[in-house]
Chains A and B, each alone.
Chain A
Amino acid sequence: TQLLEQSPQFLSIQEGENLTVYCNSSSVFSSLQWYRQEPGEGPVLLVTVVTGGEVKKLKRLTFQFGDARKDSSLHITAAQPGDTGLYLCAGAASGTYKYIFGTGTRLKVLA
């Protein structure tokens, strides 16, 4: 069974601080997505990484896919209250149409 473990589960930080969220698995994924979800809404896609070692930046967010395509990280620089939400990673296994979701990281940024 493929699993994606996210850490930390909860994170409460002050505005302006930096943070990193990790997404780890023992399985190889053909791609990995990161989503942010607000309470009562569907997840919104932030980024997709496909190539091992790939780094993508979205304003203050930096996403990295591990060289072996088994893990990924999300780094937020100078966090703002608007970054508050549930962050989810999801991996797509090769040759399948299924996505395996991580356990989620709930981030709260205090003003």
Chain B
Amino acid sequence: SQTIHQWPATLVQPVGSPLSLECTVEGTSNPNLYWYRQAAGRGLQLLFYSVGIGQISSEVPQNLSASRPQDRQFILSSKKLLLSDSGFYLCAWSGGLWTSGSVSYEQYFGPGTRLTVT
């Protein structure tokens, strides 16, 4: 079975400090990977997605960047955090448009990282 890990679970960082959040997936190969940010009690905003190693699509211009150094690893980074970067960050994976010859639309989420910038 597939599992997705995120760490750390919570993080408190001062303004201007760097950020690195990591996400890894087990039990699948060549997944599509996603980073979302969620405001309190609201829907999810797509930040970045990746369909392969080194392939990153940015959805929202911001103070963040993403990288995919390995097939099942997705990293969210910032060089200098802003107060507005605070939020709940979620990593997700999907099998993409085709999985084993059939269409697969399911998307699965990690446990999330609560980031507070002070």
**A residues with CB within 8 A of B:** 4, 6, 30-31, 33, 35, 40-45, 48, 50, 86, 88, 90, 92, 95, 97-104, 106
Contacts and interface: CB of A to CB of B under 8 A. Distances in A.
Contact of A42 (B41, B51, B112): B112
B112 A48 contact: no
A3 B90 CA distance: 20
Given A86-B41, A97-B51, A44 B46 contact: no
B56 to A, nearest CB: 12
Contact of A48 (B34, B46, B96, B106): B106
Interface of B: 32, 34, 36, 41-46, 49, 51, 59, 88, 90, 92, 94, 96-97, 103, 105-112, 114
Contact of A97 (B43, B96, B111): B96
Contacts of B44: 43, 88, 90, 101
A43 to B, nearest CB: 5
Contacts of A97: 32, 49, 51, 94, 96-97
A105 B109 CA distance: 18
A30 B97 CA distance: 10
B94 to A, nearest CB: 7
